[in-house]
Structure 1
Amino acid sequence: MKVLVSVFNNLATDQRVEKVCRSLLENGYEVELIGNNWTGLPEMSREYSFSRILLKSKILKFAYLEFQFKLYQNLLRTTDRNTILLANDLDTLLPNYLISKKLGIPLVFDSHEIFTEMPSINGRFTQKIWRKLESCIGPKMKYMMTASESYADWFHNRYGIQRPFVVQNFPKHTPNPQNYLEDNKPKIILYQGVINPSRGLDKMIPAMKNILGAELWIAGDGPKKVEYQNLSKSLHLENQVKFLGKLSPKKLRELTPKADIGISIEENNGLSYYYSMPNKISDYIQARVPVVVSDFPEMQKVIDQYHAGEKISDYSELPEKILSVLEKGKGFYESNLNHAAQELCWEKEEQKLLTLFKTVKLAEF
């Protein structure tokens, strides 16, 4: 049984897609992954087949259109009747849906987020186009999975579809890497991820004026990087705020355990963020690093259920909450973080993924 997986990115750092493909491969499926060269063609190797569609467009909206057309052609060439299609996010759904209907083969839709409620498109004309596409195809989805319980509830309530399978994007469980005898001076506050709007960094950087004896490490890149570098300079915080650039998943896994706190302090500028369970939170937890997070439905569970740090309902609380965690120290949270790490891991999510694909096989073949 072949699974043909498509996603709009260059494949190199998409850890969710990589975990899904690897789990399917290890459980007897033939996997082929299709991406593109948007943001470059970094070298990579995988145990399964992969290819990247070459896009000539330099503007994102045109790249989307070009990708839809070329992905449809690619799928038409490589798909047979012994195939399950796996479309990742709304920007790959239309070509997969058309091929699924044309050849009478099953399609699984994996919505990593609520694409139409992303802050980057809120209020823009393109949001109307994506919403139209989602409303036309979404209700017809027979097999769907998504990345948080709140996302699943949203899709179920919005379109009246069967509640999607929830396969959360957690990393594999790892042994506790911490050496509690080590003591960072200064303390390290870590943000990892894309430097986008609505991630709370424009609030975190000024807050560093009130958090003495600590540095903010920002591991990532994105459209707001230069603006936030300039903000740090204007506040004379260059020595406290470190921009580490975009790191490979391997290097990020090596860096994360060094932190004293991991932050995920997104703003409520769209339902996709509000209902999200950001990848970085579970990465911090596997590294046994306590967290400070926004008081949103999925994130607050980490605090309310596992007591793995603190949550904020307002950015004015940042200095107080961060200083509270720093004062207690990582060792204070060790037991709670170990418990959370056992629960919030890929080994448990993988079983849900395999159950979904077993359901598709039994129903369709």
Structure 2
Amino acid sequence: MKKVTMFVWNHFTNDARVMRECMTLSEDGFDINLIAIENRKDPRAVKFEAINERFRVHRVPMYPWLLELYQNNKKEFIISVAGVTTVISPALFYKSWLLMSSYFIILAALYGAVKNNAARRNMIKLVRSAKMITKGYLQNADIYHSNDLNTLTQGVICSKLRLKPRKLVYDSHEVQTDRTGYNPKVIKRWEGALLPFVDETLVENHTRAEKHEELYGYYPHTLYNYSELFDIEERQKHDLHGQLGLPEDEKILLYQGGIQPGRGLELLVEMMPMVKEGTLVFIGDGRQKAELQEMVREMHLEDRVKFVPKVHLSELPGYTRNAYIGFQVLQNVNYNHYSASSNKLFEYIMAHVPVISCDFPEIRNVVEGEQVGLAIDAEHPRNIAEAVNRLVADEDLHDAFRSNCMRAKHKYNWNTEKQKLLDIYNAL
């Protein structure tokens, strides 16, 4: 049985793509250990979890334990350090004034790192990465698999710094060189320096594969982010109307996923005064959520815009099926967004929910090619509102899109992609 160690730079509570890959490999006889990040505030992100007999999740601490102690009770921590320093500094001085000076320099450096935001973040990443490397190296796998650039260094060290190097798969879910908050030149040098150690590279779609070839000179494998295939009627339905106090015939206009900047979510709120019928519902969490909630209050839209916390992947289809329309209105803030073919689109299709989407190439090819919704210029709230009003008013068009979803889901599902993953692994 081939042993595989995967790395992912998240808590692994809602990562649909990595879950599908691990389940596919474990069901085909591979032994999978996934290393993720622990979150003590989330009972789902525990230190160890057995998904099935051949798929286990190990999570490393989110923060160094000393930093966690400091954050939990700063005053008590500082008093304790001061007490220890008072006790041991005379002994250090007696041994060597240089030793005592070094001790105080280290203390000052650590305090400066904790107080400086950038230094603290880098220290946390470094310690977390070291813990991933230690755990991954000791697992002594046959194949290492790094999801995204954040874990590629870990994969290279664990797979190649050995007397007998192991195989390494690089699974890049994003265009790393053109993402919000990333320095393109630094990222390209970092990624380019590590790629020679990689045995197989996976990217999300052909648009991104072409970009990768332009940057690095070779065409990687594509593994589309399709939803698993299922019958939505067999999934337990969550009464979203009842949960939100809405009439049963109210049309739910749904966005599900991370509530983050660059996804056009503020435009969805801004469009609501122009929408003639329906309630906008956000399912998910993220750093833009508070901003959107404040917008809703300022615009007095509390009766027309609702928020639902993030739900588990296994339960999400039961919520999605309540929707009349699903939104995927990414904004062209970088090439990573422009080239996306995100899982959200295929989740809507699998639940037979017509889509209003941006008109970026990969998304437009599916929405227009399969006639499952309207692909529009989604950079203006009026355009989105007009598309919503059109679908709300034209029930025949909505029903046609819904029927096309039922057909398209048999084309755009994980069953059509997973054999590609198995072929790559079996060749390794």
Query: Partners in 1 of 2:3 and 2:350 — Cα distance?
Result: 32
Aligned to 2:312: 248
Aligned to 1:287: 351
Q: 1:345 to 1:39 in 2, by over 3 A?
A: farther
Q: 1:86 to 1:40 in 2, by over 3 A?
A: farther
Residue in structure 2 matching 1:227, options 286, 291, 297: 291
Q: Residue deviations 1:306-357, cap 9 Å, x none? A: 0100011242311111111222334222331122101110111111111111
Amino acid at match of 2:260: N
Query: Partners in 1 of 2:125 and 2:188 — Cα distance?
Result: 15
CA contact 1:171–1:286 (8 Å) conserved in 2: yes
Give 1:67 shift: 2.2
Amino acid at match of 2:17: R
Query: Partners in 2 of 1:156 and 1:228 — Cα distance?
Result: 38
Aligned to 1:89: 148
Residue in structure 2 matching 1:177, options 233, 238, 247: 233
Aligned to 2:72: none
State how 1:60-139 maps to structure 2 within 5 Å: 60-80=121-141, 83-103=142-162, 104-119=165-180, 121-122=181-182, 128-138=185-195
More displaced stretch, 251-260 vs 331-340: 331-340
CA contact 1:10–1:40 (8 Å) conserved in 2: no
CA contact 2:277–2:392 (8 Å) conserved in 1: no
CA contact 1:176–1:338 (8 Å) conserved in 2: no
Aligned to 1:335: 403
More displaced stretch, 33-42 vs 307-316: 33-42
Q: Secondary structure at the match of 1:217?
A: strand
Aligned to 2:385: 319
Aligned to 2:276: 212
Q: 1:212 to 1:63 in 2, by over 3 A?
A: farther
Q: 1:62 to 1:128 in 2, by over 3 A?
A: farther
Q: Secondary structure at the match of 2:254?
A: strand
Query: Partners in 2 of 1:41 and 1:247 — Cα distance?
Result: 12
Query: Partners in 1 of 2:187 and 2:41 — Cα distance?
Result: 25
More displaced stretch, 29-38 vs 230-239: 29-38
Give 1:246 shift: 1.1
Q: 1:60 to 1:41 in 2, by over 3 A?
A: farther
Query: Partners in 2 of 1:176 and 1:50 — Cα distance?
Result: 28
More displaced stretch, 24-33 vs 63-72: 63-72
Amino acid at match of 1:145: L
Q: Residue deviations 1:278-302, cap 9 Å, x none? A: 1111000000000011110111012
Aligned to 2:5: 4
Amino acid at match of 1:137: L
State how 1:148-163 maps to structure 2 within 5 Å: 148-161=205-218, 163=219
Task: State yes or no: 1:356 paired with 2:424.
Answer: yes
CA contact 2:63–2:128 (8 Å) conserved in 1: no
Give 1:140 shift: 4.7
CA contact 2:144–2:167 (8 Å) conserved in 1: yes
Q: Residue deviations 1:184-238, cap 9 Å, x none? A: 5321110011111011011110101011221100001111111110101111111
Aligned to 1:193: 257
- Residues paired across the two proteins, number: 351
Q: 1:176 to 1:10 in 2, by over 3 A?
A: closer
Query: Partners in 1 of 2:60 and 2:375 — Cα distance?
Result: 42
More displaced stretch, 21-30 vs 48-57: 48-57
Query: Partners in 2 of 1:193 and 1:202 — Cα distance?
Result: 14
% of aligned pairs identical? 28
**Aligned-pair RMSD on alpha carbons?**
2.1
Amino acid at match of 1:22: M
Gaps of 5+ in 1: 361-365
TM-score by length of 2: 0.78
Give 1:45 shift: 4.7
Query: Partners in 2 of 1:295 and 1:40 — Cα distance?
Result: 38
Q: Secondary structure at the match of 2:296?
A: helix
Give 1:60 shift: 4.5
Give 1:176 shift: 4.8
TM-score by length of 1: 0.90
Q: Secondary structure at the match of 1:325?
A: helix
Q: Secondary structure at the match of 2:417?
A: helix
Query: Partners in 2 of 1:242 and 1:287 — Cα distance?
Result: 20
